[in-house]
Amino acid sequence: MFVVKTPGINGLGRTKGCENAGNAILKAIDDVWSNLKGKPVDKRLFDLEEIHLDNNNVNEAQDLIYKNAYESFELKNKAIFLGGDHSISFPILKAFKDVNIKNQREYCLIVLDAHPDCMKPEREPTHETWLRAVIDSGFEKGNIMVIGLRNSSFEEIDFLNKEKIKKIHINELSQDMHGIMDMVMEFSQGKEAYLSIDIDVVDPSFAPGTGYIEPGGLTSREILYIAQRMALLKNLRGIDIVEINPSNDRDGMTVKLGAKILAEFV
């Protein structure tokens, strides 16, 4: 399994600490001996890389993430990026789009997030604006699905509706988890798929170690079920796990959940 530590942050100071999540998750996975399917997890078998970033130079950091992600999608069957905050997803998805366009393949994006992250970008995409920047940069709008929403601004609601982005709010998801996941699997068929997991899609009682606490989210069991279903996709080429902040965590709960999510993709 190819895992890339991607400690990028651009959260206007509000996501400081997320850059340490990759190391914390990989340390926690030492105590995850098997995933929920009973498959052994051995970190020694991971193909590990790290993108060394200067978060004081956002343009340079995002350029480095883009170049490394592009190479990863060219050479690896699947790449998992450990953030970092959600701003890392912009250069990764730009690379994902460019590689698939070059190879004449259809592609799609599934996002698990409590927030749409579609505020209007002012400069380099931040963790609050990255998805809007992805859409504005030419990612195929009909091939984007955002799941788990439970707090969207008026501006973001208008933008998502205008652009006709597929969205599934938390109420819909909790009422028919299995049916929604069947729909997601069908949506992904025939496309190179990328999955972006913002840990705040999980309820803070299960994942307190993040920057924006939003009550009413998924349980840890539900996020692991979703990860298991997505792991069945043979065309799942990229995954990121972002917004885990060890500095805000309680008893290592969020970091260990991140490790268990990672383990489901072994």
Tokens encoding 60: 């340079």
> Cβ distance 223 to 112 under 8 Å?
yes
pLDDT tens column, 94-117: 999 999 999 999 999 999 999 999
| Confidence (pLDDT) at 135 | 97
Q: Which CATH number fits domain 2-263: 3.90.550.10, 3.40.800.10, 1.25.10.10, 3.30.450.20?
A: 3.40.800.10
Task: List, for residues 30-46, the tens digit of each pLDDT value.
Answer: 999 999 999 999 999 99
> Would the pLDDT of 122 be above 90?
no
pLDDT digits (tens, 9 = 90+) for 149-163: 999 999 999 999 999
Give the CA-trace dihedral at 156, 161, 167, 170, to 10 degrees. Answer: 60
SS (H, E, C) 177-236: HHHHHHHHHHHHCCCEEEEEEEHHHECCCCCCCCCCCCCCCECHHHHHHHHHHHHCCCCE
Question: Residue 207: what pLDDT?
Answer: 98
| Domain positions in the chain | 2-263
**Residue 240, CA distances (Å) to 50, 188, 236, 250 in order:** 14, 17, 12, 22
